[in-house]
Structure 1
Amino acid sequence: MTEIPERRHALPASFRSSRRRLLRRAPAALALLGAAGSALLAGCERSPSAAAFKSLDITGADYARQLALTDARTEQPFLLSNLKGKVAVVFFGYTQCPDVCPTTLTALAETQRLLGPDGQRLVGVFVTVDPKRDTAPLMKAYVGSFSPDWVPLRGSADEVAAAAREFKIFYREVPGKTESSYTIDHTAASFVFDPQGKVRLYVRHNTPPADLAADIRTLLAQAG
């Protein structure tokens, strides 16, 4: 799988002020989100259920099978199997990302709202690709500002790199004006796991929340 990352330059003053601006703009921004196009992914198979998903069906993929990092809320080891019984949406990013990351998490929060009572069965999982700056307290505060029940994950540089390889995630540092002001180009897509803990969907950036909510309802209906 090859993703073309988007380059980001200016950093926000703080993630709180950035999120407030995004939330004010969310209704108009979400209305402009377009449907994602189709693409071929290596190692993917169509779901045997032949369910009509709006996102890309990667049921049976030979990647994104495991995720073993540290939960920044508890600083304890985390495994995807911890979330069995729920639909998990996994996204790789970093807290100082100026737009793609907070926009994605804002859209995921809207997806959860659209699901109504079923929203309690959806968990967002945010994996940092910036372990040097994204400390456990910062990760906990950042992800918690979108939902206190979502999972912020971090690890050593080697652990994050291994997780990114498992998910076929691209990321690289882009130098800034100072040593600590770098930005990061990274894959801007999410992965959806069904209640059995199996990867099922590849969700492109800017997928409308209503489309993702429809896909999650389908997964929940399949799980019973």
Structure 2
Amino acid sequence: MTSTPTEVPSPGRRIGTTVATACLVLVLLGVAVMLIWPRTVQTAINNTVSPIGGPFTLTTQTGAKLSDADLRGKPFAVFFGFTRCPEVCPTTLWETTEALKSLGPDADKLRVLFISVDPTRDTPEFMARYLQSFDSRITGLTGTEADVAAVGKEYRIYYKKVPTEDGDYTMDHTATIFLMGAEGQFKGTISYGEDMAIRLRKLRNLIAGAAA
């Protein structure tokens, strides 16, 4: 009786089969990643990135209380600064004044807030005198050190008291205008010194309810 020898796969064939299997696994993994990755990344973003803006209650230059709840229903722009600021703050407030003029009647659909990061010196009375040089629709806000620190944290701004050589102090601070929607949601920013045409486009988008 003659036995038929069993065919043994050659090393080349075994390697080819292994490579083909590995390629198939990689393709399947790739498809799975493409399907899952966007949702996974978005979930990670939602869980790790803190929103800009939040609840606050501060005092206006007229002595009245103003909270985030009072702003609901109308978009608003927020700028943090201080009245003794030598350049950035008066420039930003002047540019904002000019932008409000250029917006015409649409400017009444927007609120602008100037929040002091130097509440010790920026009393409501002092802010009222300071803001007389700018558009009357700009609302000055101040409060206690704790009040300002709380709202600063909500908007994730930086500010710091810096001693000067004459024994006084100045303030370093974020020079960004934050653009917030009618329900308090973050829409975008205006950078210090940004071109007026871009500034106006962003403000019009904010009033229209679009992203800046």
TM-score, normalisation: structure 2: 0.70
Report the residue type matching 1:64 in the other structure.
G
Report the residue type matching 1:102 in the other structure.
P
Counterpart among 146, 164, 184 of residue 197 in structure 1: 184
Change beyond 3 A, Cα 1:207–1:81: farther
Report the counterpart of residue 69 of structure 1 in structure 2. 58
Work out whether 1:81 is the aligned partner of 2:40: no
CA contact (8 A) 2:181 2:206 kept: yes
Counterpart among 83, 87, 92 of residue 80 in structure 2: 92
CA contact (8 A) 2:55 2:68 kept: yes
Report the counterpart of residue 154 of structure 2 in structure 1. 166
1:157-181 deviation per Cα after TM superposition (whole angstroms, max 9, x unaligned): 11111111111111111111333x2
Rg comparison, structure with higher value: 2
More helix, by proportion:
2
CA contact (8 A) 2:94 2:134 kept: yes
Distance 1:62 1:78 in 2: 21
* Structure 2: unaligned runs, 5 residues or longer: 1-43
Cα RMSD after superposing both structures? 2.2
Runs of 4+ that moved beyond 6 A: none
Change beyond 3 A, Cα 1:78–1:159: same
Report the counterpart of residue 217 of structure 1 in structure 2. 204
Q: Cα offset for 1:61?
A: 5.9
Counterpart among 115, 127, 134 of residue 122 in structure 2: 134
SS in 1 for 2:92: helix
Report the counterpart of residue 185 of structure 1 in structure 2. 172
Distance 2:72 2:176 in 1: 22
Q: Cα offset for 1:44?
A: 7.7
Distance 1:93 1:208 in 2: 20
CA contact (8 A) 1:85 1:121 kept: no
Report the residue type matching 2:65 in the other structure.
P
Distance 2:129 2:199 in 1: 25
Distance 2:116 2:209 in 1: 31
TM-score, normalisation: structure 1: 0.67
CA contact (8 A) 1:107 1:208 kept: no
CA contact (8 A) 1:189 1:205 kept: yes
Distance 1:134 1:213 in 2: 29
Report the residue type matching 1:82 in the other structure.
D
CA contact (8 A) 1:95 1:142 kept: yes
Give identity over the alignment, percent. 35
Change beyond 3 A, Cα 1:189–1:139: same
Give matches, 1:3-152, under 5 Å: 62-73=51-62, 75-152=63-140
Q: State the structure with bigger RCO (CA 8 A, min sep 6), 1 or 2.
A: 1
* Structure 1: unaligned runs, 5 residues or longer: 1-42, 46-59
Distance 2:178 2:45 in 1: 13
